[in-house]
Amino acid sequence: MKIEFSARRPAVLAALAFGAVCAPPAARAQGDRPVYRCPGNPVLYTDAITAREARDKGCRTLEGAPVTVIAAPKPRAAPVPGAAEPPGATAARPADQRVDAAQQRARDSDARRILEAELARERERLAELQKEYNNGEPERQGNERNYQKYLDRVGDLKTSLARKESDIAAIKRELSKLAP
């Protein structure tokens, strides 16, 4: 075989490379085996049958159409006894682990008492912060000769007030969830 170097050689190589890149993906990936779509099951695509079998079954050839395969979700495993439950899972407790109604009422009353005490402390702290904040004009301290330090403290007080009000609202929500 004789190889000639000519001006046409780069053009021929470019054409071959272009043809390899632009060939249909199914043809490149499948080794030129046709993919068939058979009637009766519209999602069944196969390349494992011969042309004669495809003709006998009435299958059509898919040309140039990409075939997308989506995996089915994996089935969930049965819960293992003693294993931690996933978040949000609620299961009934066995009879030997159930809490007596009187004991539950005692727990609820303890929770209510604790929340009410916490609410009282938070309200006291809110009143102290409001007094210190003085409607956005707290008294300047001796170490606040720089006005920016004063403004920073005012901003911190304002943030603390908003946080305390939010905490109080959250405690009130928790109290409303408990039975009276």
105/168 same-domain check: yes
Asked whether residue 84 is assigned to any structural domain, the reply reads no
110/170 same-domain check: yes
117/168 same-domain check: yes
In the block, which residue shows the tokens 């109080």? 168
Residue 113: predicted pLDDT: 94
pTM of the model: 0.45
Asked whether residue 78 is assigned to any structural domain, the reply reads no
Asked whether residue 85 is assigned to any structural domain, the reply reads no
Residue 175: predicted pLDDT: 92
124/58 same-domain check: no
Distances (CA, A) of 72 to 35, 66, 69, 117, 160: 21, 19, 9, 53, 51
pLDDT digits (tens, 9 = 90+) for 27-68: 444 456 777 778 776 656 677 788 888 888 888 887 766 666
109/165 same-domain check: yes
Closest Cα partner for 158 from 177, 180, 178, 130? 130
Q: How far apart are CA 49 and CA 85, in angstroms?
A: 46
pLDDT digits (tens, 9 = 90+) for 103-149: 988 999 999 999 999 999 999 999 999 999 998 889 988 888 899 99
Number of structural domains in the chain: 2
113/44 same-domain check: no
Asked whether residue 81 is assigned to any structural domain, the reply reads no
Asked whether residue 79 is assigned to any structural domain, the reply reads no
Asked whether residue 74 is assigned to any structural domain, the reply reads no
111/167 same-domain check: yes
Higher pLDDT, 82 or 140: 140
Asked whether residue 36 is assigned to any structural domain, the reply reads yes
114/51 same-domain check: no
114/163 same-domain check: yes
The SS3 assignment for 35 reads strand
168/111 same-domain check: yes
Asked whether residue 3 is assigned to any structural domain, the reply reads no
The boundaries of the domain holding residue 154 are 100-177
